[in-house]
Homo-oligomer: A and B are copies of this chain.
């Protein structure tokens, strides 16, 4: 699956993934009204608003970006109706030809990890019938439980053509509290130790570009650490959150790319989804044109990334 993602990044000349993390506060009034008129001010009504909103955003950007990244928490918080829209969003994005990265950050012991693996990137069997309930192309995972908690996903990478991004160095300002601790015999920071494990776990899953189906999450908000990780993890593709609303600039994350301008895909969520609420786009687009504002924000981000990578 990593090969397909890199192919798309190259074809579009755009290493951007659009984060689909909707909140009611960023959904224009007319969309909320439409959803509430059908389902009331209910969990289903809120979920429906997300669906209508996501669909228009996907329609407006699918020809510009290789991938979208729905954040499951934003849907899960509305219960089963929210999860239903998470799934419909994934499936709609795939119909539009997008690679879908499910930002689920799951972690559990092997027997439980198997359930997540089968549900999210594999198949579950009921009686004699097999279902693929979620169908993400990639999912994010938390490594705190060790390789045992990641191994159950490995067979699915080949069997179902999928990928993983393992949390190595996250984008939150305080990620260093645990991830920067000197760890192991050599006293390297924990995120380097975990990064080294991810590079090793990924070895059997390398593709045409030299990158593995097992990638790493590396926050754009820690530029020196990102460059250092790029250097020591030459076969690990990076999913880079933190650009835009979280404060990182294109210059900050330039070190996450390799000499060929590959090796990373940069996420922006609020900066794209909620572009219509920003002064600069609000001047050009009405709330009804929110998806066109998102499209403009994608084009601006692409230009910004290209400048920084020159």
* Chain B residue contacts of A80, Cβ below 8 A: 80-81, 83-84, 87
Partner of A119 from B32, B78, B116, B175 at Cβ < 8 Å: B78
A172 to B71: give the CA distance in the assembly, Å: 27
* Chain B residue contacts of A146, Cβ below 8 A: 172, 174-179
A87 to B80: give the CA distance in the assembly, Å: 8
User: Which A185-200 residues have a C-beta within 8 angstroms of B?
Assistant: 185, 190, 193-194, 197
* Chain B residue contacts of A149, Cβ below 8 A: 172
A79 in contact with B119 (CB, 8 Å):
yes
Closest residue of chain B to A246 (Cβ to Cβ) is: B109
Q: Tell whether A227 is near chain B: CB-to-CB under 8 Å.
A: no
Partner of A108 from B105, B118, B182 at Cβ < 8 Å: B105
Q: Tell whether A213 is near chain B: CB-to-CB under 8 Å.
A: no
A20 to B33: give the CA distance in the assembly, Å: 39
B147 in contact with A73 (CB, 8 Å):
no
* Chain B residue contacts of A60, Cβ below 8 A: none
A76 to B84: give the CA distance in the assembly, Å: 11
Closest residue of chain B to A148 (Cβ to Cβ) is: B174
* Chain B residue contacts of A170, Cβ below 8 A: 109, 144-145
A112 in contact with B73 (CB, 8 Å):
yes
User: Which A103-154 residues have a C-beta within 8 angstroms of B?
Assistant: 105-110, 112-113, 115-116, 118-120, 124, 126-129, 131, 133-134, 142-149
Q: Tell whether A309 is near chain B: CB-to-CB under 8 Å.
A: no
Contact sample, A vs B, 14 pairs, CB 8 Å cutoff: A24-B126, A42-B131, A43-B124, A43-B131, A43-B133, A71-B112, A77-B124, A78-B124, A144-B178, A146-B177, A147-B177, A178-B190, A178-B193, A178-B194
Q: A32-B127, A181-B193 are in contact. List 6 more A-B contacts (CB 8 A).
A: A42-B131, A43-B126, A142-B142, A142-B144, A144-B167, A148-B172
